Amino acid sequence: MLFNSLSFILSFSVFYIIYYHSSFRIRKLLLLFFGIYFYSRWGIGATFLLFGSIVFNYSIAIWLEKTLSNKRKPIFVFGIVTNVLYLGVFKYFLFLWGMVSDVNVELGGQTFVWKPNLILPIGISFYTFHNISYLIEVYDEKIPVCKNFFTFTLYDLFFPLLLLGPIERPGNLIPQLESKRPITKDQIWNGFFLFCFGVFIKSSIADPLSRYVEMNVNSFHTLEPGILWIIAPTIAFQVYADFFGYSLCAMGLAQSMGFDLMNNFKRPFFSSNPSEFWSKWHISLSTWLRDYVYIKLGGNRQGFVRENINLMLVWFLTGIWHGAGYGFIIWGLYLGICLVGYRFLKYLGFTKYEHFTFKTFGIFFTFTTFSLGLLLFRISSPSDVFLIIENLLSLPNIRQIPYALLLIILPLLIFDLWQEWKDTNRPSFFLTQKPLQASFIFVLGFIWFSLVSPFAKEDFFYFQF
């Protein structure tokens, strides 16, 4: 059940009418039931696995609280390792099994006939990181243990962020779930707008771009020379529109119910260097990795060389978090090298120029390196990297550029340009600057076009992660 599907719109509308007119206690119960209903539409087996994860992490946190400080570490390590193994078994075991089978063939053996029949629970990467951050915060005594099992279950089953995040911090979400928060008219209106605009971006920008990419990149062996110079930025805008659209939907749904979620994107394509880019793209993941992996490894406290080794480790983990495959590993290492390379230039003093020309070149270069990196998501073997490089050695035919794509991405560019001009990171900023009637017509037009769009609806890109 996608956010941009009519079935979700109708289900949520009925739920919201009842939710809005209910007491605080009943609202929490309704939130939990709707979260279970929403997630179970993706599979009953995955729902039972999620409940198992909830019970386990709730129990570990309670155990930590009841244990003396000098005996807590083994319990904490057990909890973290179990979560990592839980994610690893369901997400990476089949890939590792296939890799071992390939090695066996190379050594003269036979391909393994038997394969384990494992499901990949949707959203497992997000809710596992959700739970790991909770255990870390409890262990570091930054937040109190959530003793109410009902509230903790709702923390994991909060449906706006259940499938694709953002990976909300427990210190922000749990207190909101526990407090009696009135729903204001501004929250309802802003939430409605954010959801409508998110649906529009997903259905009317991301989906057409996705279909263009799928039609033109069936195999790296059959591509026209230089076409990847066109495909790469198209994929970049597709992924951005897809995930940004989902994030706006999640923020809008949460805000309409009285909750505030973090902003996951802050105009990343206006970044003039890789470091700035990753402070504005998928912010909940990048800050999660910074706080719970990079800093725990020592961050930048142990010298320039160790700092960059830590960065490469973080980006390797970022790659495998996104998926089980050679392309994801290579993608993570590629982006790690880009970031380390930038930091090396900064260390040598080559990045201190603030002239408009240098900044413009930095924006172009950062966007290009990110776009080309996304091609690695589509490779099936390491040898495909050489096919990509070979294609990029040629320039595209100017007639190959689909100018209709520029019209498709125009609303997204205008939106980001407006925010850049106003220097705001609030997605609902320009709504508050316009008359209510005009904005109402504006968003209704967007949602109408999105729901009756002649294009088939696509799954959100990040569902595969």
438, two tokens: 């005009």
For the chain, helix (H) and strand (E) counts, in that order, are 19, 0
Nearest Cα neighbor of 49 from 62, 59, 39, 38 is 39
Determine which one of 21, 130, 322, 355 is catalytic: 322
Q: How distant, in Å, are the alpha carbons of 172, 256, 355, 384, 421 from that of 425? A: 19, 19, 24, 38, 11
Structure tokens belonging to residue 280: 């504005």
Q: Which residues contact 451 (CB under 8 A, 6 or more apart)?
A: 4, 6, 9, 199, 203
Q: Is the separation of the CB atoms in 416 and 270 below 8 Å?
A: yes
Tell me if residue 322 is catalytic.
Answer: yes
The continuous run of DSSP H or E covering 32 comes out as helix 24-40
Our CA angle for 154, 159, 160, nearest 5°, is 125
At 98, give phi and psi (nearest 5°).
Answer: -65, -35
Instruction: List helix spans (H) across 166-290.
Output: 170-178, 185-201, 207-216, 228-256, 274-277, 283-289
Write the single-letter amino acid at 316: F
Question: Phi/psi of residue 33, each to 5°?
Answer: -65, -40
Residues serving a catalytic function are 322
